[in-house]
Amino acid sequence: MNPIVRLALEEDIGTGDVTSAACVPESRIASGRFLAREPLVLAGTDLLPEIYGQPLTLLKHDGEWCAENDVIATIEAPARLLLERERVALNFLQRLSGVATAARKYVEAVAGTGCQVLDTRKTTPGMRVLEKRAVAAGGVTNHRMGLWDAILIKNNHIAAAGGVRAAIAAARAASPLPIEIEVRTRGELREALESSAAHLLLDNLTAAEAREWIEEIGGRAKVELSGGITLENVRAYAEAGADFVSSGAITHSARAVDISFRLEWGA
C-alpha cells in the first residue's frame, strides 16, 4: 500500500469507526457510487483499490473531463468498510482532481502559443508524487521531481558560488545533469549567455519586461518564466515568447473539487 494512503487511513480510522460499528450490521453489504458534483478533470482513481482493498468498477479515468453528476466509479463491499474509508477516498479524489482541473485550465489558457506549462516543487509535503501525477493528468508537464534529477541554479546558489559564471562552471564540472540558471538582472543575463547557458529562468518580471529580455536572448537559450504567474495572466507571459511558464499555484493553491459518495444498501 502507498505509505501516504496507509497514513491517511490510520489518521482517520484510528482504533476503529465507532459510528459505523454501532449503527450498521457487520454482515450488511452495500454498493457505492462516486459522483462528480461539478465539471472537473479526474485524478487519483488509482488510489481507490488501495484505499478499499477491494476491486472497483472505474467508469472514468485520470485525465478525463467529468460533467456534473457523472458517475466516476462504483464499488460493492461490506457497508462498514465503505463507510469507514469514504472520507479518505474523497479527500484524495477531491484534492488530486482539483490539481488536475487547475492544470488543465492553465494548458487551455496558453493553447496555440507554443509555450509549455511546467509545475514546481511547491507541493503538499508527502504528496508530491501524487500531485505531480495529477498535474500530468491535467496536461501540464512535470518539472523537477526533487533536488536530485536536474540542476536549477537560483539566486542563493549564485551568491554562495560567487557569481553566475562560477556557478555554471562548477555545475558543469560536477555533474552531467541538465542545468538551468535563474537570472535577475540584465548583467546576470549577459553573464549567463556568455557562459553558453542553455536554459534560463527569468523570475518576477512583468510580461512586457519578459518580452524585452527574451528579445535580447534571441533564441540563444531556452527561457522559462516564473513568479506571479496566474491563470489570469499566464497567456500574456506565454505570448511574450517564453518556451516555458511555471506556476506553483497549480499545486499549492488548487481548490478541492466537489465529488460525493452515494451509498445504497444491498442484501
Please give the chain's pLDDT, 267 residues, in tens: 889 999 999 999 999 999 999 999 999 999 999 999 999 999 999 999 999 998 999 999 999 999 999 999 999 999 999 999 999 999 999 999 999 999 999 999 999 999 999 999 999 999 999 999 999 999 999 999 999 999 999 999 999 999 999 999 999 999 999 999 999 999 999 999 999 999 999 999 999 999 999 999 999 999 999 999 999 999 999 999 999 999 999 999 999 999 999 998 754
Q: Are the C-beta atoms of 75 and 82 separated by less than 8 Å?
A: yes
For residue 151, count CB atoms less than 10 angstroms from its CB and return exposed for 0-12, middle for 13-18, buried for 19 or more: buried
Give catalytic residues, as residue numbers. Answer: 87, 122, 154, 182, 203
183 and 242 co-located in one domain:
yes
Query: CA–CA separation, 78 vs 132, rounded Å?
Result: 33
Q: Do 157 and 233 fall within a single domain?
A: yes
Contacts of 108 (CB under 8 A, 6+ apart): none
Instruction: Tell me which amino acid residue 81 is.
Output: L
Q: In terms of residue numbers, what domain contains 66?
A: 3-107+254-265
The CATH number for 216's domain is: 3.20.20.70
Domain count, the chain: 2
CA-nearest of 58, 67, 47, 54 to 4 is 47
Pair (69, 145) in one structural domain: no
Beta bridge partners of 117: 245
Query: Based on the domain organization, do 241 and 188 belong to the same domain?
Result: yes
Is the same domain home to 187 and 220?
Answer: yes
Same domain, 208 and 239: yes
Same domain, yes or no: 260 and 157: no
